[in-house]
Structure 1
């Protein structure tokens, strides 16, 4: 039986992994070993390791990398602890393949360690862009360390190949997070209201704002502009905590102060997949700079006000309104997003990130792929250069 080490570092990536884990469970030739690390062990972010275990999945390895307050030094220290922890795990229990997802520094630590151990590495969600965050560089670096690529669209496949990866190892599977929407047990409004402590009528706004890591010291100012716009609306608003990034604690403190004196707003460290998607399903709009507003929201035809540069360059549907982090622009877009006429324009829209069957596709490829030396010994796949290098040549 082929063993897949699945690396998860936060609530968000575990929700995306869930359909893949279920598909692996349904494939007799495969078994997964969940390697949990990062913010899963932090009470600040809801001790989401408990959510994994409560969902029925066994956590095989617990690598405690989180270093508390998240500044740049702490992030770097977390990466170092991650490499040390994964080295210990891979030394005593070597998997057949390691599976990582996305662009987080926890994933980079696991990927770099797998590279040193000459372990086949598979990567989900390569080829995408988020040019306002360090995640963009981490994602592309993970692509170059990986041997097998599960991408969400044809354009992302072309970008991975442009990075020199061999086309036969690049598979367009779609975004596995969308699979969760196929057979979800949707929470009712009473459950959601009890969970967030608000009356969700009129339909709420769902807000998720993360640090823009390539714009240091900007977090408080940017989220302050979002709060100023929300103050003008004063509609039921559920605000989720950010990722464990540099300045993440600043955002958490800002959120807590904001909701403390506003009875129409609620702060949530972690909602879990069902409730988060349940809120997306009933929300009038989403606001912030989360990738869930780019990827999953389109499946609901949910209007999204995407603030600033964190997601710059990422493909998105017509439901996304991009604005700079200025209150007047945010307010104008939010008012537009809440108009029934705008929502009507989105009726029947197609999500560019897939059809909700990625998990089974990924599991089947993991089952069939030949783990011979030809997979590990990568060769660079050259593509035609269409941009002139004349003006950039040395000498």
Structure 2
């Protein structure tokens, strides 16, 4: 039996790793070991509860105002001891967080094979998103198996001269997770409260947007709420104190803008399923919403998820106030523009990514002679 360790620390990682952990647990030849760094303590715990996951090791690294260097050093030193005790045969990391980078580096130092879930996403700009772009590029150098979610992600890895035999196209586990969270019977007090309104769901938290870019976003949102009496903006405000301060300054005291606490993952997915459209600077939301048929306006200047832009489900609008207002107004005023985005194809997955990843892990260790068929959008 091969011991497969997953290392993650943030809410988005937990959402996307949860279905994979469940798939590992369901295989008799693999023994999953769950390690959380708790880079996001409170938001991580809620996801673990949703998916009924209990970590085998909890590093609990979260401290107020810690630097990226401190996060990395703390994870490295603690994982050293965990690896010695648990003796994993492979370490799986996800995406592009500090936990991802530090987990990979710690595994490299112990000469443990590394599997990178959601590998190959690129903007080619080391400052956008920061520090995520460089985290995923550096993990790509260390990884023994690159689980690319899409053909484009796989092509990025080939362009970087990664061995083709190390790259497998799986689809995105974010879609797998939604198989567990969506409910036809979901009811929301907020949605009910604004019955008859077109509810726009806003998420904004990225480090590089904090400051003037986020102020521009919030000013645009407030202008839309002023302009359209049938529109309500709902914003689950991120826990970051700087984000909360900006949100209160620009968005409070408006009858059609509601600031709420961050939603649990199941609530977020179901809430989004009932919303009119999505405004976001989140990477994961860009992947999830196309499967719900929701237009997504991306509040960033770049995206490492160009498949959604090419498919027509996403549109990059940046952080310039006037352009955000213009593009939002188009979708509100013109049904054909709205429908062209809402009905575009989902390029990100079919709900089977986790089973493909498990199959490739077994192939890597010689536990099976056949590779799973790759995902094709």
Q: CA deviation at 1:236?
A: 2.6
Q: CA deviation at 1:258?
A: 4.4
Q: Does 1:64 align with 2:60?
A: yes
Q: How many residues align?
A: 355
Q: CA deviation at 1:78?
A: 1.1
Q: TM-score, normalised by structure 2?
A: 0.86
Q: CA deviation at 1:189?
A: 5.5
- Do the aligned partners of residues 334 and 24 (structure 1) sit closer, same or farther apart at CA in structure 2, a change above 3 Å counting? same
Q: CA deviation at 1:15?
A: 0.9
The whole-number CA distance in structure 2 between the counterparts of 1:324 and 1:17 is: 29
Structure 2 residue aligned with 1:341? 336
Structure 1: gaps (5+ residues): 373-395
Q: Which SS does the other structure have where 1:204 is aligned?
A: strand
Q: CA deviation at 1:267?
A: 3.8
Q: Which moved more, 1:324-333 or 1:341-350?
A: 341-350
Structure 1 residue aligned with 2:223? 232
Structure 2: gaps (5+ residues): 226-230, 368-377
Q: Does 1:222 align with 2:216?
A: no
The whole-number CA distance in structure 1 between the counterparts of 2:304 and 2:168 is: 24
Structure 2 residue aligned with 1:384? none
Q: CA deviation at 1:36?
A: 1.0
The whole-number CA distance in structure 1 between the counterparts of 2:53 and 2:156 is: 34
Q: Does 1:143 align with 2:140?
A: yes
Q: Does 1:306 align with 2:298?
A: yes
Aligned 8 A contact 1:69 1:249 in 2: no
- Do the aligned partners of residues 369 and 269 (structure 1) sit closer, same or farther apart at CA in structure 2, a change above 3 Å counting? farther
Q: Does 1:113 align with 2:106?
A: yes
The whole-number CA distance in structure 2 between the counterparts of 1:121 and 1:105 is: 16
The whole-number CA distance in structure 2 between the counterparts of 1:371 and 1:209 is: 44
Q: TM-score, normalised by structure 1?
A: 0.82
User: What value does the CA root-mean-square deviation take over the aligned residues?
Assistant: 2.5
Q: Which SS does the other structure have where 1:349 is aligned?
A: coil
Aligned 8 A contact 1:99 1:121 in 2: yes
- Do the aligned partners of residues 241 and 278 (structure 1) sit closer, same or farther apart at CA in structure 2, a change above 3 Å counting? same
- Do the aligned partners of residues 301 and 126 (structure 1) sit closer, same or farther apart at CA in structure 2, a change above 3 Å counting? same
Q: Which moved more, 1:254-263 or 1:329-338?
A: 254-263
Q: Does 1:277 align with 2:269?
A: yes
Q: Does 1:52 align with 2:52?
A: no
Structure 1 residue aligned with 2:312? 318
Aligned 8 A contact 2:314 2:341 in 1: no
